[in-house]
Amino acid sequence: MAATAFSASKFTQSFSLNSTRSVDRPPLFPASHPLKTTPSSFLGSTRKLSLSSPSSSTSRHRRRPCRSPAVVAVSEVVKEKKSKSNVSLSNPLITKEEGLELYEDMVLGRSFEDMCAQMYYRGKMFGFVHLYNGQEAVSTGFIKFLKQEDCVVSTYRDHVHALSKGVPARAVMSELFGKTTGCCRGQGGSMHMFSKEHNLLGGFAFIGEGIPVATGAAFTSKYRREVLKEADCDHVTLAFFGDGTCNNGQFFECLNMAALWKLPIVFVVENNLWAIGMSHLRATSDPQIWKKGPAFGMPGVHVDGMDVLKVREVAKEAIGRARRGEGPTLVECETYRFRGHSLADPDELRDPAEKARYASRDPISALKKYMFENNLASEAELKAIDKKIDELVEDAVEFADESPLPARSQLLENVFADPRGFGIGPDGRYRCEDPKFTEGTAQV
């Protein structure tokens, strides 16, 4: 794929990451498709991201005087350090402790979401519930590289991001049940997870709504370090969003701002190939989202989002760049959701063969296989983790079910800075406690 040069600030960090080409995925377009411009497949292809000056063969009219060296973006980044045949059992990509941590976090996400489906259909949850099954490698691969002080901004598919960031399963499940013991006291529900303690800045229901919030959080980190002189403030923000978001204005505006100010942020695109029922290939003029990064002067990276080890390598580099003050990175994680868009979606639009192909590449099964092949864990150890997670999720359900519902007085809390005159009557009591509270409001 031809490289394209863009004038931008000088970057010195390049990516050369572990990857293995997937051989079972189809090309992005059939050979006859009018938009196919490259002989390499987008889905699962592996190339290196090069951050260097354009070669001398670059045409003169494309050079601009008095500018810094250009960022040259090539395809999807993940370049194999060693071929499969060279990866010996004595030199695995992760330690045993790291592997067990990754496995436990991914199993927790999967088991929690499976339980959510059960509880939703039993009437324990209300509204829309969007599950994360199949995408666990992205959440685990990125968030497990963060510090407690680092921030995460999510979407409406946010339960697993919250769990990976450390929010207790009890608090997440209670929030889904709409109980006061939830992380938002039952007022956020499935799509609005938030935890100040864990620097989870929210799930956001509107498409692209969280990206400006994440950009602001990254600006806060930079301001504290450079203006307030807090030398130890090297905090990084992760902004998670889907492929459908990448055609929205907030996305482009925030890429520009983050690159202009070299903010410590990583934009993580969870490209599961479908925006509700719209195929990603039909929704955007260039399906390769990673290429939008270099257009704004930041690295653009594509990685196999079904492999937690590949995601982890990219996350390490991107988060490290941000923490060192080298600016933002756009990472496109090509993944797949195993369930419908939400639990109200019958999921009849996707090709069954496509779903089966991705199901065969389950990220948890792939990690499990890798750990066995590299003698990082035994069957008994992984079964013990499975049992532990099952008990934890069951406990979360029992806790949520037994927790109290919010009082009516909570209805108007956190709506107005000063609810007097609206939420609180002359007697000092919340007006919503009055049975006639809503009487006559149609005239207001």
pLDDT for the residue 422: 60
Asked if residues 19 and 78 have their Cβ atoms less than 8 Å apart, the reply is yes
Edge to edge, the sheet with strand 151-153 lists: 151-153, 237-242, 265-271, 329-334, 300-304
How distant, in Å, are the alpha carbons of 123, 245, 276, 286 from that of 283?
Answer: 34, 11, 11, 9
**Rounded to the nearest 5°, which phi and psi values hold at 71?**
-90, 125
Show the domains of the chain with their CATH numbers: 2-85 (no CATH), 96-402 (3.40.50.970)
pLDDT for the residue 48: 39
Say yes or no to pLDDT of 11 above 70.
no
The pLDDT tens digits for 183-217 are 999 999 999 999 999 999 999 999 999 999 999 99
Say yes or no to pLDDT of 19 above 60.
no
pLDDT for the residue 92: 85
pLDDT for the residue 54: 32
Q: How far apart are CA 77 and CA 49, in angstroms?
A: 5
Cα four-point dihedral sign 316, 319, 325, 330: positive
- Of the listed ranges 42-46, 115-119, 281-285, 437-441, the least confidently predicted one is 42-46
- Of the listed ranges 5-14, 286-295, 398-407, 435-444, the least confidently predicted one is 5-14
The pLDDT tens digits for 335-393 are 999 999 999 999 999 999 999 999 999 999 999 999 999 999 999 999 999 999 999 99
Q: How far apart are CA 72 and CA 4, in angstroms?
A: 6
Lookup result for tokens 């079964």: 383
The strand pair at 274-275 and 278-279 is best described as: antiparallel
**Residue 268: CB atoms within 10 Å:** 32
The mean pLDDT of 56-79, rounded to a whole number, is: 38
The mean pLDDT of 45-64, rounded to a whole number, is: 37
Instruction: Grade residue 421 by pLDDT with cuts at 50, 70 and 90.
Output: low
Q: How far apart are CA 60 and CA 176, in angstroms?
A: 59
Residue that wins the pLDDT comparison between 75 and 275:
275
Say yes or no to pLDDT of 61 above 80.
no
How distant, in Å, are the alpha carbons of 190, 309, 343, 394 from that of 128?
Answer: 7, 31, 7, 22
Q: How far apart are CA 423 and CA 432, in angstroms?
A: 7
Q: Of 430, 393, 363, whose CA–CA distance to 112 is shortest?
A: 393
Lookup result for tokens 């979360």: 396
Q: Give residues with Cβ within 8 angstroms of 62, minimum separation 6.
A: 5, 54
**Residue 366: CB atoms within 10 Å:** 18
pLDDT for the residue 414: 74
Percent of the chain, pLDDT > 70?
73
The pLDDT tens digits for 117-167 are 999 999 999 899 999 999 999 999 999 999 999 999 999 999 999 999 999
Q: pTM for the full model?
A: 0.79
The mean pLDDT of 417-444, rounded to a whole number, is: 60
Q: Of 185, 127, 190, whose CA–CA distance to 154 is shortest?
A: 190
Mean residue pLDDT of the chain comes to: 82
pLDDT for the residue 105: 98
Asked if residues 179 and 404 have their Cβ atoms less than 8 Å apart, the reply is yes
Asked if residues 159 and 169 have their Cβ atoms less than 8 Å apart, the reply is no
Lookup result for tokens 């090539």: 74
pLDDT for the residue 410: 82
Q: How far apart are CA 275 and CA 272, in angstroms?
A: 8
pLDDT for the residue 434: 65
The mean pLDDT of 412-437, rounded to a whole number, is: 65
